[in-house]
């Protein structure tokens, strides 16, 4: 402000006492640019510092949430015998509520960690007496599950919208009614997987192995099945024609894809 006043005084009143009478416009520009650049630099640095501090705080908060969940579940497993509890027991209800609540609060990477914990603790297995924790309605939106080992996992009705499931193992898993829209299932192993009534709209299933998978009633609108293996999969002609791409795919009858899909039954066989 002081410099601006001096400039005005110089040009309007030709005040020689200012000592800046010989200054040109370019001289004034040079005089002003340095403090302006410094001010902008200081502001940007302050903003970046606040963002870094906020990101660090968020990471620490996420770690606390995950550690608290794992500690609570370990307590239910070892002190309350969660795995051996009755189907309608109070401890199972507590574990389900705690799980669903925590998953809604976790970021993409930690959702994946929590789900792998449940799988390895044998709390979400389809076979045997069935899952200990009912995952229906669980929020796994955007979860990072690259190459996750989810063999025989009971994940019916879960929300996996936009999740990264590249190379994940879903062999014999139950994903019936699950939301897999926009999910990346590239190279996923889904042999004999239940995808009945699942939402696979805009999902990527390139090179996915879906032999004997149940895709009946699944929403396959604009899904990408390039190079996928659909041998003996349960899929209808009506579903096939709504798929975005089947280029290079192995069809239910074992043949490579061709545009003539007439003659396919609801089971996917000729």
| C-alpha 162: how far from chain center | 5
Mean pLDDT of the chain: 88
Q: Please give the pLDDT value at position 11.
A: 59
Quickly tell me which residue has 């929590």 as its tokens.
114
Q: With residue 50 as reference, give the H or E element that holds it.
A: helix 25-78
Q: Please give the pLDDT value at position 215.
A: 98
Q: Please give the pLDDT value at position 29.
A: 62
Asked whether 159 and 140 are in contact (CB, 8 A), the reply is yes
With CA atoms as reference, report the closest residue to 155 among 191, 187, 127, 131. 131
With CA atoms as reference, report the closest residue to 197 among 170, 229, 235. 235
Right CATH for 123-240 from 1.20.1250.20, 1.10.3720.10, 2.160.20.80, 3.40.50.1110:
2.160.20.80
Q: Is 236 in a helix, a strand, or coil?
A: coil
Distance CA 83, CA 123 (A): 7
Angle CA(211)–CA(235)–CA(262) in degrees, nearest 5? 115
pLDDT tens digits for the chain (270 residues)? 666 666 666 555 555 554 555 566 566 566 667 777 777 887 887 777 777 777 777 889 999 999 999 999 999 999 999 999 999 899 999 999 999 999 999 999 999 999 999 999 999 999 999 999 999 999 999 999 999 999 999 999 999 999 999 999 999 999 999 999 999 999 999 999 999 999 999 999 999 999 999 999 999 999 999 999 999 999 999 999 999 999 999 999 999 998 755 444 334 443
Structure tokens at 26: 């370019």
Distance CA 193, CA 176 (A): 9
Q: Please give the pLDDT value at position 14.
A: 55
Q: Please give the pLDDT value at position 267.
A: 40
Summarize pLDDT for 244-267 with one digit per residue, the tens: 999 999 999 999 998 755 444 334
Asked whether 117 and 137 are in contact (CB, 8 A), the reply is no
Domain ranges of the chain: 1-51, 123-240
């Amino acid at each position: 402000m002081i410099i601006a006043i001096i400039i005005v005084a110089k040009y309007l009143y030709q005040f020689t006492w200012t000592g800046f009478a010989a200054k040109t416009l370019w001289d004034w520009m040079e005089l002003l640019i340095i403090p302006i650049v410094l001010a902008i630099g200081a502001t940007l640095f302050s903003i970046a510092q606040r963002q870094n501090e906020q990101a660090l705080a968020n990471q620490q908060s996420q770690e606390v949430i995950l550690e608290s969940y794992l500690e609570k579940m370990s307590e239910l497993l070892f002190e309350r015998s969660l795995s051996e509890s009755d189907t309608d027991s109070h401890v199972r209800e507590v574990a389900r509520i705690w799980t669903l609540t925590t998953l809604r609060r976790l970021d993409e990477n930690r959702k994946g960690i929590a789900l792998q914990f449940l799988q390895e603790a044998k709390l979400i297995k389809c076979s045997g007496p069935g899952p200990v924790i009912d995952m229906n309605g669980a929020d796994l939106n955007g979860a990072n599950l690259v190459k996750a080992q989810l063999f025989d996992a009971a994940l019916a009705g879960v929300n996996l919208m936009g999740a990264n499931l590249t190379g994940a193992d879903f062999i014999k898993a139950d994903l019936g009614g699950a939301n897999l829209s926009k999910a990346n299932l590239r190279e996923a192993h889904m042999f004999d997987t239940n995808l009945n009534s699942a939402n696979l709209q805009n999902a990527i299933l390139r090179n996915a192995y879906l032999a004997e998978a149940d895709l009946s009633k699944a929403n396959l609108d604009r899904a990408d099945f390039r190079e996928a293996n659909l041998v003996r999969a349960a899929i209808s002609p009506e579903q096939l024609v709504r798929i975005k791409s089947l280029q290079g795919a192995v069809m239910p009858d074992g043949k490579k894809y061709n545009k003539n899909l007439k003659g396919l039954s609801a089971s996917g066989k000729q």
